[in-house]
Structure 1
């Protein structure tokens, strides 16, 4: 399922293919609706009714690009949708528009650059997408201004339990939520597959107001910097270390009791769990915890290398640990 989810295309504001896939994999006893922004809100009845209303959230959108201009000689100018490091853009294969036209992000070749330019990364403003068109008219016969552009990158398994794909952030969260919905839940719960997280946590903000839960659990992919050359205190989290629980990021200071409770439950159930040790990034918790008069919120994430690129890397065992912790936390928060 994660393979299929990651291979789907859905930048912020263009999540319909992901939403349709999720709907097609919901059990017959799940109730759902799509809110005006496009978030999919699912209610699944459990074996008992909970003392507290719990919402689990994962976002459907991925980072990517959008077409802003077409030159007279048929090249496509673009800007980013979400935070993408320019180092992972140049030379990438992409798919463009509704027809998923193949293209390549290009710019001035290295042997054509000046001495000053050779020491700098090319900016997005100086890049273009080459779809093989020879004129503006030819390009316009296939694409339009405002068309979405996606990384062209397939899901692949390698090494000992590793996976490589685009959009692991946050199709891995969507996959975990779908697995929970298709399981026998001890308590009824609400699941939100939100839109537009990558451009400002917009879908979750609207959904949290309408659901108004007592507790929220955000399931995410988060930065792992466990690579060569990074000091120990800057590695954030590690692949193979299990589910990642945050005490603070750039958008949220998490409830300290919920943070402690997550580790207690993990230890009790033999679930591998680790702390996100650097205050960086953010996720839908930043919008959810401030909604509807205030919602107690916790983020549980899968560690992911090279996040927001066409080739993110995660480990299967960490995904399983995150699933197990999410399931245990759902049961705990429903009755605490």
Structure 2
């Protein structure tokens, strides 16, 4: 399964080589119009002789990770996050470190040794370490180097009959949908962009958008589900199994209302469920495309993803399928 390959690969921000190779192999089976720019973005171009309209569909390939920043005297490692992560979800998670994939466990002071203040305090990376089974700082230095990137050691699986679970669903789901979209033919000039460093300021898409200069850009990403246990009903605005989210606003930027309405109309015409929201809080690639591509109309189609900023996430099969069908038919009518 394509999504399984993507999720099980290691592609931390700034070192997406393994994930990029898998995407390139998949793309190479049906197109030769593939380019990798200096940033490491993959750009696939599908030409149309009947239109001059340039449409860019964007999905980032990197995942949030950790980076080794120091050694402790007992042989454990200090670290910091690369990209936003829920630090309370980190303790006792298994990880792989560096190109050698050294196995490790994120450790924390045992609960029975913590005082009341420590128990009630929010966790920080200073309170945690990574244990690789070394017994001294010298032994640890022989195995792990400062600056080594760390990814989580979770395997993709089908969760019940209706869900997927795994690491890096944000945004390997978008990557898998974009690969399938690129197998189709369209009347517009379509640029499929698998961008790097999406978790650390959307750096890759700045370069891609500046070089392509699209007329229309569609961000294909995930959005954090708000239907978790104990969430008040008034806050459950984004739910799994109720279709993709098509928002009007992201952070401090506004999506093009005409494009948003036309995508929503396409969903309604196809009886595809979708969710409305006024604001996604995070801008994602929106700000980068706005700054790098002049006079570009931007929209987004987002797949709900539960526990998105932790080491493992959950998504609905139906939401993924509906997102693909919606975008495929919308692009064919441009």
> TM-score range, shorter-chain basis?
over 0.9
Shift of the 131–7 alpha-carbon distance from structure 1 to 2, 3 Å rule, reads same
Q: Which runs of 5+ in 2 are unaligned?
A: none
Shift of the 251–312 alpha-carbon distance from structure 1 to 2, 3 Å rule, reads farther
- Counterpart in the other structure of 2:129: 128
1: distance between equivalents of 2:256 and 2:233?
A: 26
Matching of residue 31 in structure 1 with residue 33 in structure 2 = yes
Shift of the 141–185 alpha-carbon distance from structure 1 to 2, 3 Å rule, reads farther
Question: 1:232 deviation in Å?
Answer: 3.0
Matching of residue 8 in structure 1 with residue 9 in structure 2 = yes
Q: Which runs of 5+ in 1 are unaligned?
A: none
1: distance between equivalents of 2:252 and 2:94?
A: 32
The CA RMSD measured in Å over matched residues stands at: 1.6
Deviations, residues 169-226 of structure 1 (Å, cap 9, x unaligned)? 0000000111111234444411110011111111111110001110001100111111
1: distance between equivalents of 2:310 and 2:50?
A: 41
1: distance between equivalents of 2:131 and 2:257?
A: 50
Q: What TM-score results when the alignment is normalised by the length of structure 1?
A: 0.94
Q: What TM-score results when the alignment is normalised by the length of structure 2?
A: 0.95
Shift of the 277–304 alpha-carbon distance from structure 1 to 2, 3 Å rule, reads farther
2: distance between equivalents of 1:319 and 1:45?
A: 26
Question: 1:28 deviation in Å?
Answer: 4.3
2: distance between equivalents of 1:305 and 1:276?
A: 16
Report matched runs for 1:49-64 at 5 Å: 49-64=50-65
2: distance between equivalents of 1:184 and 1:279?
A: 31
User: Number of residue pairs matched?
Assistant: 332
Question: 1:246 deviation in Å?
Answer: 1.1
Deviations, residues 14-52 of structure 1 (Å, cap 9, x unaligned)? 111111111111134331211111111111245x54341
Deviations, residues 266-296 of structure 1 (Å, cap 9, x unaligned)? 1112222111355422311221123232311
* Maintained 8 Å contact 2:227/2:237: yes
Off by >6 Å, runs of 4+ in structure 1: none
Deviations, residues 233-283 of structure 1 (Å, cap 9, x unaligned)? 322311111111111121421111111111111111222211135542231
